[in-house]
Structures are given as structure tokens and as C-alpha cells.
Amino acid sequence: MKIKLEKFSYEDILELTSWIPNKEFLLQWAGPSYTLDSLENQLKHEIDMMSEVEPKYMMFSAKSVEENETVGHIQLLWIDKANLSARIGRVLVGKNEHRSRGIGLEMVNAALDIAFNELNLHRVDLGVFDFNLPAIACYKKAGFIVEGSLRECRKMNDEYWSLLNMSILENEYRNLINY
């Protein structure tokens, strides 16, 4: 399935929030910055932040090219023009029937294209919990390298989750796309 990224809008909020079944999933998808009870308002606030002169966030809906159906969500966070860096985050392929079909990789590649070719960044990183093996495999296919781990940095119920930090540099990205 071919996808295209479109700017995330207020109209996309209901569908995105319908994909978040519980607080465990929310933490895995968005980290500690969102809460279930205020998720809709937090998303509205971040949409508003995208209209700033130099936004720190870019939020996207991933749409299938053929059906124009929303199949996922991805963000570029912490866009830093001084250091030419950003973070990919909140990557989600929505419905179960769309997962394991390469959509996540297409979304990440499209976000990297924006980061390196439109924003002219030097570095993009991301965080992923170490038990999320499909996401880790996807990010490695996109060229990300594991830099390190924040061991047991998030508490969920009675267990701790460890976070891997991964990154890709502009020259690594360019070497990959030139093959």
C-alpha cells in the first residue's frame, strides 16, 4: 500500500483517539506527555502550535494513496533549527489489518524525506520501548542505529519499561536512498 503524509488536523483527532485503547498503549505510543483524559485537548493544542512561524512539531496523518483512507499517524517533534535536529515520535499504524504490511516503514521514510530534504536537518532520532520488536525492526530498515538505552525509565503499573534511543544522520540517510 502506498501512503502519503498530510498535515494532521482537528478532523483527524477522533479517528486517532479511537486507536488508543488504554493507558498502557498510550504510553507505548506517545510516551508520558499525553494522558487519556486530556488527549483530545493536547492534540488540539499541538495542532495550534503547528501554525507558529517556526513550529517545533509537525503532525501527519498517513493516508493510503488509492482509497485516501487514514491508516496511520506520525510526528516530527522537537524540531531544532539551531542544531538541525528533530525527533520522530508517536508513530502508529491504526487498525490491526493495516499492521505488518510495511506501512510503518513508508511513514518513517516519508517523515525522513521531510526532515532531510525539506527541513534540511542533520540528525533525526527516536525513542522506542525495547519490547516493541516490530517497531525496532522497522526503524533499523529505515537506517536508524541504536545509540543506547534508558533502562527501566518508565513505570507502568507494577513493571518498568526500558527505552532505546535510535538515530540516523543526514549522510547515512543519503547513502541509503542512493542505492
Amino acid 179: pLDDT? 56
Q: What is the 3-state secondary structure (H, E, C) of the chain?
A: CCEEEEECCHHHHHHHHHCCCCHHHHHHHHHHHCCHHHHHHHHHHHHHHCCCCCCCCEEEEEEECCCCCEEEEEEEEEEECCCCEEEEEEEEECCHHHCCCCHHHHHHHHHHHHHHHHCCCCEEEEEEECCCHHHHHHHHHCCCEEEEEEEEEEEECCEEEEEEEEEEEHHHHHHHHCC
Work out how many domains the chain is built from and give that number. 1
Tens digit of pLDDT at every position of the chain (179 positions)? 899 999 999 999 999 999 999 888 888 888 888 888 899 999 999 999 998 888 899 999 999 999 989 999 999 999 999 999 999 999 999 877 778 788 999 999 999 999 999 999 999 999 999 999 999 999 999 999 999 999 998 888 899 999 999 999 999 999 998 75
CATH number at residue 140: 3.40.630.30
Amino acid 68: pLDDT? 87
Amino acid 129: pLDDT? 93
Amino acid 56: pLDDT? 92
Range of the domain at 119: 3-177
Look at the pTM and tell me if it is higher than 0.85. yes
